[in-house]
Each structure stands twice: as structure tokens, then as C-alpha cells.
Amino acid sequence: MKMTNKFLKAVAFGAVLFSATSCHDLLNEPPENTSFVADTDYTNTDNMILPLLGAYGNFYSRGWEDFPLISVRGDDVNAGGLGDQQPYADTDNYTYDQGYWMYNSVWQNFFGDIIRFHSAMEQIALYKVHAPNPAVADQYIAEIKVLRAFMLLNLSRVWGKVFIPTSSDPSEILVANLATKDEVMQHISEQMDQAIPLLPNLRPNQRTDVRGGVTRHTALAIKALANLELKNYQGVADATSQIISSNLFTLHSDYYQLFKLAGKLNNENLLELQYSDFGQGSGPNISYLFAFFGPQNWTPQVTGSGGGWGFYEPSMKYIKFMLDRNETVRLETSVIFTNRGINAIKADPNYATLPAWITNTTRENDRFNDYPRAMFASGKHYLPSTQLTTGRTDYGTNKNFTCIRYSEILLMHAEALTRGATSSAMTADAAVNLVRNRVSLSSLSSVTSQQVMDEKFAELAMEWGTRYYDLIRLGNLNELNYDGRTFTANKTYLPYPQNQIDQLPALRTANNN
């Protein structure tokens, strides 16, 4: 814990030193970090790590709007209604407003960080000239390439055709061409090939220099995700096989606790946003704004613990899917019920009798009362009030935000094999059954692609839009027609933000459908 706290404090310092807020107009700002060039002594290579820490700080400093916009359109999750963010709820219903502030903010946040990542890499390259061990500089640059790749992956998933910045100069975007989604994914795969041999062959939580920092397996995971989007299933199998064969990663034994404090820097995690209150009830606190996911009305076990905004809820479709599978562990983990939600489920005669364990009170005795915006809450974004550091009251504070888990690697591997890829690392049956057995489900044999996709739905719901992007990739668009929604292929990507169209010529004539 001391190493983690020391690292996060250094990251916070690096982020302040080497960046500005990510919500700004890039074209009206000088390239980040370049103002330091004239004053920086690049012969003092002890400071070479500072741009790297700044990059991690930027990566962790996600706006609260980033994840919700990326993940809200799947049939696993709904936007909470009755709020002041109606265009967000409309987005969940495939009605898009390109003038909505959130679209522009997420675009700015992600591209802003990519520009800062390039600046950090450029500064490290200046240190490298004087470094006694240039391989350290190469590793730092490779780490930042992985962070950059994750940002590009999500940008292209959301918008399709996007820019691929090549330097810290944001003005290059004024004359750049848009890359197709396939071109972006191929670029990411090639970038990861460059980074992989330069990165530590460790789990992120095994690193002692940058605790929880990316490793070659993080890069392999992002390469697998990019090749999944390309439907290059052999490429997926090759990347996931290397992760599996490393024997470094294991599934956490307790799926429920994986999304609580026990999940921080877990052996299952290949990439996570790290946060900490440093074990103190007051003072510095590096945190994600989990209030977005919290209930508007609850009775926490620890009196005074804060609630939230109620803008993100598991869908009724997902809940019934899980009930039909007789899921217990993953359903309890993923969904927090209110009495209103329970009654809404029971209103369907097919679900009039629910398992006795379904209640509006969690196992930690936090009671989720009825509130206007939602009938359910996301358990994956819930930290029990009993796990808050004494003195801290913000909903979910001190909880990390997981980006890529080993279970996703296993299921991508299994899917690739059921779609024709080959591997000697692990069979599709073995991969799927590791995931199933962890939550006390029986083993399957001769698994099909559909069974793998069902397992992904159950396992990865409400995580980074995985379900939505799977359905899009496979053309299973009818699944997105649920609860009165009507989805068509031309709704696949969000429209470019109007603020960006006004500034960037390439967007004015582009069609991102």
C-alpha cells in the first residue's frame, strides 16, 4: 500500500507539472509540455520519469462523462431518466444531438490526452540522448503508447473515423485526414507490436518501479481488442494466447469483492485507473466521481455516507437474461435493486416469483431506497459504505476503475477459437469454464460462439460498452431493439461534435456512419 500511495502521489505531481485540464480547446492552446523545453535540463535524467508520471496522471484523470458516453448504448445498461442531462438519456435511445456538451467534452478529453501523451514521449526522447540506459527511455515511451492506444480504441469505437495524431502539435489536425475505423485498429495493433518487446514481462501489480503500470500483457490485451474489432480472430487468439501462456494472471476467487477494495491492483487486472485516499480520513484524495452511478436515495450502513446522481442503471433485459440463466453471484454483483425495481420485474408474470436473496439491501446492509431516475443501480460501480475510509463520505471514493480484466482475455480467446482461430495455449471450453466455474456455474462442452457471447454478456455487463461493441461488430443489431428502442445501422456511431465540426475542415464533409 505504501508503494501504491507513493506512486499515486508522484503521479498527481507529474500530472500537475506536465499537463493542463483536459477540457479545453486544443486549437487555442500551445502544445502541452513544449513550454518546458527551453527551461528543462535534459542531462538530468533522474527527471526522465516525470513526463511518464504526467501521462499516467492524465490517463487517470478521466472526466465523469467519459465512461458513461462510451458505455451507455448497449442493451445491458440504461441511462437514468428524469434528470438535467436529457440528451444523455436520448443517446441511450439512439437519438443523437451533436451540439450536446458531453459529446464535445469526451472528444476533447481523449484527444487532449493523446496530444499530451505525444508531448510526454517527445520529452522522454530528449532525455534519452543523455540517459546512461536508453532502454529505460524506450520502456517509458512504450508505456505511453499503450495508454494512447486505449484512448484511440475507444474514440474510434464511439465515432468510427477519427484522426490519428502523430505529434504534440494539435494544429496538425487542421490538415489531417480522418482514418477509417479499420485503419485506426490496424494502427493500434502495429503500435502494440512496437511496444510489447520493450515492456516488463509482469503483471501490472508486480511492478515495483511504477506500481500498477502497464506491461507487455496490457499491450497484448489492447492488441487483442483492436484485432477483435477487425474480426482478425487469429490475431486475437495469438495475442490472448501469449497472455494465457504467461501464467501470470488468475481470476479473483470472489467475483463480488473483485469490484470492491479487494479488486484494487488485483491479479486479474491488466489495466485499471488507480485512485487513493491514502488511507486517511481527510487530506489528499485522488478519486473518480463515482457519484454518477450512485443512488439518489439510500440508507447506508455507515451514517453520513454520500449518495449519487442515479444516471446509470442495469437494464431490465439484462436482469431477466441473468434470471433465466439462474445466475446468482454475477447478478448480485452487477445489479443493486430498489423495491420499485423489484416490483417492476414481478409485474411480468414470468418473473412473478423471484429468488429470496433479491432485495433492496446489499449484503453490507446498505439499503437502496426508491428514487426517481432509476429502478436499479450498477453494483460494479458500488463501494459499500462499510469499505469507505473512516472520515470519507463521497460515494465510491478510494475505489479503482477497472479497464481490462483477465476474464475478458479468456472470453476473447474462446470467441476467436469458436470463429476459426487456433491456439495451443488453452481450449475454448477451458477458457469459458474458468469464467463460469468462478461464479459456481457448471462447465460446458463444445462451446459455440453464441454461448461465448452469452457468457460475455453475463460477465462484462456495464464495462466499457463491451456488449454494445460486440453486437455492432457481429451485426446483431436486433438485440439493440429493446424496451421500445429502435436501432438502425446508421446509428452505430455518434455524430461528430458540432464544436469540432466548426473548427476542423475534415469533419465538415465526413460521414462517420
Q: How far apart are CA 382 and CA 377, in angstroms?
A: 8
Q: How far apart are CA 337 and CA 379, in angstroms?
A: 9
**Percent of the chain scoring above 70 in pLDDT:** 92
The answer to whether residue 335 sits within a structural domain is yes
Mean pLDDT over 444-468 rounds to 98
**Measured torsion, CA atoms of residues 177, 180, 184, 186, in degrees rounded to the nearest 10:** -120
**Ramachandran sector of residue 212 (left: φ over 0; alpha: ψ -120 to 50; beta: rest):** left
Does 36 score more than 50 pLDDT? no
Does 133 score more than 80 pLDDT? yes
pLDDT at position 1 is: 44
* Average pLDDT for the chain: 93
Q: How far apart are CA 134 and CA 195, in angstroms?
A: 15
Provide the residue range defining the domain that includes 392: 295-399
Does 14 score more than 60 pLDDT? no
Q: Dig out the grid coordinates for 485 from the structure.
A: 428502442
pLDDT tens for 261-311 read 999 999 999 999 999 999 999 999 999 999 999 999 999 999 999 999 999
pLDDT at position 84 is: 82
Does 380 score more than 80 pLDDT? yes
Contacts of 225 (CB under 8 A, 6+ apart): 153, 404, 412
Which 3-state string (H, E, C) describes 376-401? Answer: EEEHHHCCCHHHCCCCCCCCCCCCCE
Q: Dig out the grid coordinates for 85 from the structure.
A: 442531462
Query: Using alpha carbons only, how large is the chain's radius of gyration in Å?
Result: 22
Write the DSSP string, 105-164. HHHHHHHHHHHHHHHHHHHHHHHHTT-S-HHHHHHHHHHHHHHHHHHHHHHHHHHSSB--
* Contact call for residues 214 and 199 (beta carbons, < 8 A): yes
The answer to whether residue 37 sits within a structural domain is no
Q: How far apart are CA 283 and CA 438, in angstroms?
A: 38
pLDDT at position 10 is: 57
pLDDT tens for 149-176 read 999 999 999 999 999 999 999 999 999 9
Q: Say which residue, 504 or 511, is predicted with more confidence.
A: 504
The answer to whether residue 420 sits within a structural domain is no
Does 333 score more than 90 pLDDT? yes
Q: Dig out the grid coordinates for 47 from the structure.
A: 527527471
pLDDT tens for 189-198 read 999 999 999 9
Mean pLDDT over 353-375 rounds to 97
What is the DSSP secondary structure assignment for residue 335, as one 8-state letter?
E
> Structure pTM?
0.94
How sure is the predictor about 8, in pLDDT bands with cuts at 50, 70 and 90? Answer: low
* Contact call for residues 339 and 370 (beta carbons, < 8 A): yes
The answer to whether residue 1 sits within a structural domain is no
How sure is the predictor about 7, in pLDDT bands with cuts at 50, 70 and 90? Answer: low
Does 45 score more than 60 pLDDT? yes
**Sign of the torsion angle spanned by Cα atoms 166, 168, 169, 173:** positive
Mean pLDDT over 118-134 rounds to 98
pLDDT at position 39 is: 81
* Residue 377 β-bridge partners: 336
Question: C-alpha angle with apex 82: 76 to 85, nearest 5 degrees?
Answer: 80
pLDDT at position 485 is: 96
Q: How far apart are CA 407 and CA 457, in angstroms?
A: 12
The answer to whether residue 351 sits within a structural domain is yes
* Residue 374 β-bridge partners: 371
Does 19 score more than 80 pLDDT? no
Mean pLDDT over 26-40 rounds to 46
Does 30 score more than 80 pLDDT? no
pLDDT tens for 474-490 read 999 999 999 999 999 99
The number of angstroms, rounded, from the C-alpha of 430 to the middle of its chain's C-alpha atoms is 26
pLDDT tens for 204-248 read 999 999 999 999 999 999 999 999 999 999 999 999 999 999 999
Give the DSSP H/E element, type plus range, for residue 336: strand 335-337
Q: How far apart are CA 498 and CA 307, in angstroms?
A: 34
pLDDT at position 510 is: 85
pLDDT at position 21 is: 35
The answer to whether residue 224 sits within a structural domain is no
Helices of type H across 61-100: 66-71, 86-92
pLDDT at position 513 is: 55
Q: Report the number of distinct structural domains present in the chain.
A: 1
* Contact call for residues 368 and 336 (beta carbons, < 8 A): yes
Does 137 score more than 70 pLDDT? yes
* Contact call for residues 387 and 261 (beta carbons, < 8 A): yes
The answer to whether residue 155 sits within a structural domain is no
Which residue, among 503, 410, 421, 423, has the nearest Cα to 459 in the 3D structure?
410
Q: How far apart are CA 69 and CA 110, in angstroms?
A: 12
pLDDT tens for 411-446 read 999 999 999 999 999 999 999 999 999 999 999 999
Q: Which residue has the cell 481470476?
A: 251
Does 141 score more than 50 pLDDT? yes
Does 16 score more than 70 pLDDT? no
pLDDT at position 509 is: 83
Does 9 score more than 90 pLDDT? no
The answer to whether residue 338 sits within a structural domain is yes
